[in-house]
Structure 1
Amino acid sequence: MLKESLVFEDGLGWVTRAVFGDPGVTVAVGDDPSATVRYAVIPSLAGARFLLPLASRRVTAASLLAYNALRPPKVRAGRAAVGMLARFGLLGLTKAPILSVHAREPRELLAAFLAERLGVDRLHAAIGIRPPDPHHKPTLQLFDDRGRPRGYAKIGWNDGTRAMVRAEAATLADLPASGGFPPAPRLVLHTQWHGREIAIIEPMPRTVRRIRRPDRPRLEAMLAVARRGGPATPPRPVTELLTAWRQRATGADPRIHAFIDALDTGQELEFGDWHGDWVPWNMARHRGRLLVWDWENRAAGVPVGFDLAHQAFQTALSTHRRPAAECAVAVDEALREHGPALGLDAAGQRFVADAYLVELWLRTYELSGGGAGWNPKLHPALLDVLATRLPR
């Protein structure tokens, strides 16, 4: 039986509002064969992780099985099992709830708009569900009627996430293709739709695989990114970085200004680019090379070593669920072990660690100002961590 349209308040809620929250479009729980599109909610309404398009057996199965080799073993096994059920028309055995989406006109749906822009008859969107978070964006895997991947769409829905989508689109148009620079899936389309900023990235090769030993830093690739595939550059004073930080911190908690001042020690370091979100789940291996995606946080003019610090911090935070203080310790350990290979002596390692924590807090501050709210894992915890590390 079809229930009336509901307003969800969890991860399912913010994603459905971002993707289907337009006049003329309603989302209801229950299987309505007359709906414009229908989705299975995997595994449940309360624990939703994935919206599975029910366009056809082929499309439904492809949504679960495409790039499954990139998933962690437990997730891979679960998706493979449900994918086989979908392929044989037995998805009903999962008893997954159904969302029925009604649109006054099919073209009012985002997938129809993107199909028109890409010049294909139809696109079907498999939609990932993540908990509400200051910088999360809805992500759509796009498939054609034959179940072939046609792209991966990111949706910017507020000031902060719209800026991130624009930044990734610009970055992908300007990445080097030599000098050991890791290849990245290219940009297919950058467009806007009903106040959303949308970037579609090309599908990855079907033969991509998870990287082995994900905690091991790929130092050569990090240096290639930092130097844009070129040679090392001479060290220079950190003054310019600190000046830029002070401008970014205008109106922020006074403590961050004191921490920036504490880093004004006359240090000289090599500067370059950084990926900005260098973590194992943003990379894969393909034909002996490292493939790296999610370039939305790429920036120039940072000390070499920021990507190493970020991998250590975010792996501890997201994979091992450690508090910010322990994540900072993981940064120190990574820089002590691998910093010399990046040209960092002991003083440089300490500066990069502290500077990375300042940069991470500033990013959190900027996202909060963009309408996304504060990330409770990082604020005020990072300020408390910096207070133990930097004299004021």
Structure 2
Amino acid sequence: MNRETTYLTDLAAVLWPCGGLLGPGEFTGTRLARHERGSQYLPVPSARNPRVILPAHNRTAAVRGISSFSHGHSFGERVRSLALTGAFATGLAPLLLRDRLYVGAGPGIEHALASALDREVSVAIHLGPPRANRKPVLLLLTPGGRTIGYAKVATNDLTSRLVRTETRALQHLDGALLKDVTVPRLLHENEWNGHPFLVQEALPVGDQTDRPTRHQLLRCVTQIVGLGAVRTRWLSDSPYRRSLEERITLLGARPEAQPLREALSRLPDVRVPFGAWHGDLTRWNVASTSRRAFVWDWERLALDAPAGFDALHYDLNEAVQAGVHPGVHRWLDSGSRLLRDPLMAATGLLPHTVSTVMALYLIDLATRFLTDLRPGSSGVVAAVDDWLLPALDGLRVRADHEATRTG
């Protein structure tokens, strides 16, 4: 088995205590034969590269799962999703997708969710690409195919921390007054098989929403900044900087820690507005209309960070879609323009602090990457060394020039 098939069987042991076994599909003539006991799920596109896990014998749940999990993806990915939807709708998918995850009979996560919500549920499961914070996200449906909500189930120490953090974040946001931003309500939280899980409502995201425009993005970002009291402080006196220094120290003897520590210590001491940030605002976690933004995945919410971090994070993730190095180069300019927008100025962010805030964001991002690092995840280290630290060097120089010209 490769790493991904091992992940599938480990995941099955969490979701279904009776366990799961990978194998080929079983056919009788041209019809799929049901496994004698338990349920069958289809790892899509394959067990060696799973992105979603769909019920083999529930077309409605499978089709709804594909459409729900393709929001915010590229045009090519949406075309593939349409083709897959057609294959399930016509009943061909179980014939075309040979890999199976056979789940033994007995109580599983579906039973826990049905008990929590006091109704029968069907599930489709999104996994996404391999990364440190990867966890199953379960689309919950009625037998008739109506969406009930989404569940997140932790699988290890990191994802347990993130699920608990998001639970607290949704509880905090339940009483927040966000004029133009809608967040999901927390429906249930508990533990399953020794791991925390949460259930949240589904937001009304669909054909009437799209990726936010620049103005919509900044309107959303500034309202999130104001979730708590916005305070302007000297960087040297800020709790945020002390916290970031402590996080870098916890990296221990990692070779990347020293350049991050030096970059932080050499930034100019400027006055910066601090407020809340979502922590992972990307095209996969936000949708917008002309009047409202719908934002989910609040597992990284923090209430004390430099204003503008969310705008920089969204913009960087967009910029690198067509290539990391040219994307980062474009972001150094586009991110600066975003922070200089009049909407951001309303938070108290001043032009001569823009490059300092961008440098702080990269230091924070690198520290997060390295803190969440899984054994054998050399790609993250390569990313930090390859583009993040060089971009940080240029920003630090630019920050000095900006602060000097103003001073």
TM-score normalised over the length of structure 1: 0.84
Q: 2:371 aligns with which of 366, 370, 374?
A: 366
Q: 2:357 aligns with which of 347, 352, 356?
A: 352
The more displaced of 69-78 and 47-56 is 69-78
Partner of 2:404: none
Distance 1:377 1:20 in 2: 32
Matched, 1:142 2:140: yes
Partner of 1:256: 260
In structure 2, what residue type is equivalent to 1:330? W
Partner of 1:97: 98
Distance 1:166 1:372 in 2: 26
In structure 2, what residue type is equivalent to 1:155? V
Unaligned runs of 5+ in 1: 1-6
Distance 2:25 2:199 in 1: 30
**1:103-142 equivalences in 2 (<5 Å):** 103=104, 105-107=105-107, 109-121=108-120, 123-142=121-140
Distance 1:215 1:286 in 2: 12
Partner of 1:28: 22
Matched, 1:308 2:311: yes
The more displaced of 290-299 and 372-381 is 372-381
Matched residue SS, 1:106: coil
Q: 1:305 to 1:65 in 2, by over 3 A?
A: closer
Query: 1:191 touches 1:197 (CA, 8 Å); kept in 2?
Result: yes
The more displaced of 345-354 and 53-62 is 53-62
In structure 1, what residue type is equivalent to 2:262? A
In structure 1, what residue type is equivalent to 2:135? K
In structure 2, what residue type is equivalent to 1:75? E
Partner of 1:236: 233
Question: How far has the Cα of 1:62 moved from its partner?
Answer: 2.8
Matched residue SS, 2:172: coil
The more displaced of 370-379 and 301-310 is 370-379
Query: 1:151 touches 1:201 (CA, 8 Å); kept in 2?
Result: yes
Query: 2:70 touches 2:78 (CA, 8 Å); kept in 1?
Result: yes
Cα deviation 1:72-94 (Å, max 9, x = unaligned): 4443343334334433433345x
Query: 1:284 touches 1:292 (CA, 8 Å); kept in 2?
Result: yes
Distance 2:211 2:126 in 1: 25
Unaligned runs of 5+ in 2: 27-33, 252-256, 401-407
Question: How far has the Cα of 1:357 moved from its partner?
Answer: 0.7
Distance 2:110 2:25 in 1: 20
Distance 2:250 2:367 in 1: 12
RMSD: 3.0
Q: 2:7 aligns with which of 8, 11, 14?
A: 14
Aligned length: 375
Partner of 2:46: 44
TM-score normalised over the length of structure 2: 0.81
In structure 1, what residue type is equivalent to 2:280? D
Partner of 2:158: 160
Distance 2:377 2:23 in 1: 29
Partner of 1:4: none
In structure 1, what residue type is equivalent to 2:318? T
Question: How far has the Cα of 1:255 moved from its partner?
Answer: 2.2
Matched residue SS, 1:127: strand
Q: 1:214 to 1:198 in 2, by over 3 A?
A: farther
Partner of 2:403: none
